[in-house]
Amino acid sequence: MATEIEAAQRQHELDAKAVDRLVFFSDAVIAIVITLMVLEVRLPALPEHATDAQVVAALIALWPKYFAVVLSFLVIGLYWTLHHRRFNFVRRVDSQLVWLNLIFLLTMACVPFATALVAEHPDLVGTVVYAATLAILSITAALVWWAVGRRPEIRADPAARREMRIAVVMGLLSAAFFSVSIAVAFVSTLLAKGLWLLFFLANRVAGRLSFGRPAK
Q: Is 84 in the site for a copy of itself (CB under 8 A)?
A: yes
Q: How far is the CB of 134 from a copy of itself (least distance, A)?
A: 16
For residues 176 and 5, give the distance between their C-alpha atoms in angstroms, rounded to a whole number: 47
Spatial contact of 39 and 164, defined as CB atoms under 8 Å apart: no
188 sits near a copy of itself (criterion: CB under 8 A): no
**Stretch 105-134 residues interacting with a copy of itself (CB under 8 A):** 105-106, 109-110, 112-113, 116-117, 120-121, 123-126, 129
How far lies 198's CA from each of 37, 126, 181, 192, in Å? 22, 19, 11, 10
Of 31-39, 134-142, 160-168, 171-179: span binding a copy of itself (CB under 8 A): 31-39
Alpha carbon of 171 to those of 143, 194, 199, 205: distances in Å?
Answer: 9, 20, 12, 16
Residue 177 CB, nearest distance to a copy of itself (Å)? 21
Read off the amino acid at residue 60: I
HEC string for 4-21? HHHHHHHHHHHHHHHHHH
Q: Is 179 in the site for a copy of itself (CB under 8 A)?
A: no
Question: Rule CB under 8 A: is residue 202 a binding residue for a copy of itself?
Answer: no
d(CA 187, CA 189): 7
* Residues engaged in binding a copy of itself (CB under 8 A): 10-11, 14, 17-18, 21, 23-25, 27-36, 38-39, 41-43, 46, 50, 52, 55-56, 59, 70, 73, 77, 80-81, 84, 88, 94-96, 98-99, 102, 105-106, 109-110, 112-113, 116-117, 120-121, 123-126, 129, 204, 207-208, 211-212, 214-215
